[in-house]
Each structure stands twice: as structure tokens, then as C-alpha cells.
């Protein structure tokens, strides 16, 4: 497979995973209301998955909670949180977090 074809398929996969207008993105939201946000815990499982980008175009990759890209984790600023990372691959993996 040529690099150009790979990038096209990766872009298609990202577009297929994007929410449609008016839909919420797949995420694990911090609890609100009566639940205590200070006790928010997340589990992030890293494991091999396969994605069908198009008919007869299957890609093996690493997924997070069964999806690629991984889920969106939302938390409140200043509230402690625990993220339990489970690596079900046979190699060390990195998890990269961003703040908004």
C-alpha cells in the first residue's frame, strides 16, 4: 500500500468516526448533578482492534476502549480524577492527554 492510499483511508476513517451535525461525540463525561464529580474515575483500555475503512479495506491498529481514535474524556478543571490505563497489547504504549 502506498503512503498516499494509507493517508486517504486514515482520513476516511476519521471522517466516519466524527459525529454528524446535532449528534454528541462519543465520550465519557464527568458526572453532573447529584453525583460527586470529585470521585470521577475513568478506565482506558488499550488493545488491538480492526477497522473496516471501506469494503475489503481492513486496517489493524491500536484502539482505546474499542475505538480509534479513542474516547473523549471530559472533566471539570481543578477536580482530581483517576484514569486507570490497562494495556492489553504486547508492547509498551503511551497515552497523550490534552487540556482545553
Q: What is the pLDDT of residues 50-91, one digit of tens each?
A: 988 889 899 999 999 998 888 888 888 888 889 999 999 999
Supply the DSSP symbol for 26.
S
- Structure pTM? 0.57
Residue 59, all three cell numbers: 486496517
Query: Facing residues of 67 across strands?
Result: 64
Residue 94, all three cell numbers: 503511551
Amino acid at each position: 500500500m502506498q503512503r498516499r492510499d494509507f493517508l486517504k483511508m486514515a482520513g476516511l476513517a476519521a471522517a466516519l468516526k466524527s459525529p454528524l451535525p446535532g449528534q454528541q461525540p462519543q465520550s465519557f463525561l464527568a458526572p453532573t448533578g447529584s453525583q460527586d464529580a470529585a470521585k470521577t474515575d475513568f478506565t482506558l483500555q488499550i488493545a488491538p482492534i480492526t477497522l473496516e475503512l471501506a469494503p475489503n479495506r481492513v486496517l489493524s491498529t491500536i484502539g482505546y476502549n474499542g475505538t480509534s481514535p479513542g474516547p473523549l474524556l471530559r472533566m471539570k478543571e481543578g477536580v482530581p480524577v483517576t484514569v486507570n490505563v490497562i494495556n492489553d497489547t504486547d508492547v509498551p504504549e503511551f497515552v497523550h492527554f490534552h487540556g482545553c
